[in-house]
Amino acid sequence: MKTSARNQFKGIVSDVLIGAVNAEVHITLTGGANLVASITKDSLESLAIKVGVEVIALVKAPQIIIVSDFGGYRVSARNQLEGTITYIKPGAVNTEVDIELNGGEQVAATVTNDSVETLGLRKGQTVTAIFKAGAVILAVAS
């Protein structure tokens, strides 16, 4: 699939929780990590998403927040993927940070240069990529 979303995670739907308006779709990625997507019930039905279906979860790089130390706090973002920084490419304002998850998947994040400096981000550092379930777009093969 060709898309501008840098993060394309392949996985299998492991659970679906249906609410009044939205559905929560739980996805097990190829490497074993888990994602949660929040989509409308209409999207769930039109894409025929159910347990066992293979999906691609798309997340734009600017939606990824990098956490180097939770400092004892918990966050409401459902998706929290731990990995190791493999690449840092600074730009004029923002920096691209690539993170390899424990299962081998890659996460690309775009953060400000100030954030890279404040967090002291460096290649080989263990960090957590977090993003909200609502930031996930699901695609299925037609």
- Over the range 22-50, which residues count as b (16 or more CB within 10 Å of their CB) and which as e? bbbbbbebeeebebbbbbeeeebeebebe
Higher pLDDT among residues 51 and 103, named by residue: 51
> In the chain, pLDDT over 90 holds for what percent of residues?
92
> Topology of 61-131 in CATH?
OB fold (Dihydrolipoamide Acetyltransferase, E2P) (2.40.50)
pLDDT at 92: 95
All structural domains of the chain with their residue ranges: 7-59+132-139, 61-131
3-state DSSP call for residue 26? strand
Q: Are 101 and 81 in contact (CB under 8 A)?
A: yes
pLDDT digits (tens, 9 = 90+) for 17-65: 999 999 999 999 989 999 999 999 999 999 999 999 999 999 999 999 9
Count how many residues are written for the chain. Answer: 142
> Topology of 7-59+132-139 in CATH?
OB fold (Dihydrolipoamide Acetyltransferase, E2P) (2.40.50)
Residue type for position 86: T
* Alpha-carbon distance values, 121 to 74, 94, 112 (Å): 21, 13, 11
**Domain 7-59+132-139 matches domain 61-131 at the CATH topology level:** yes
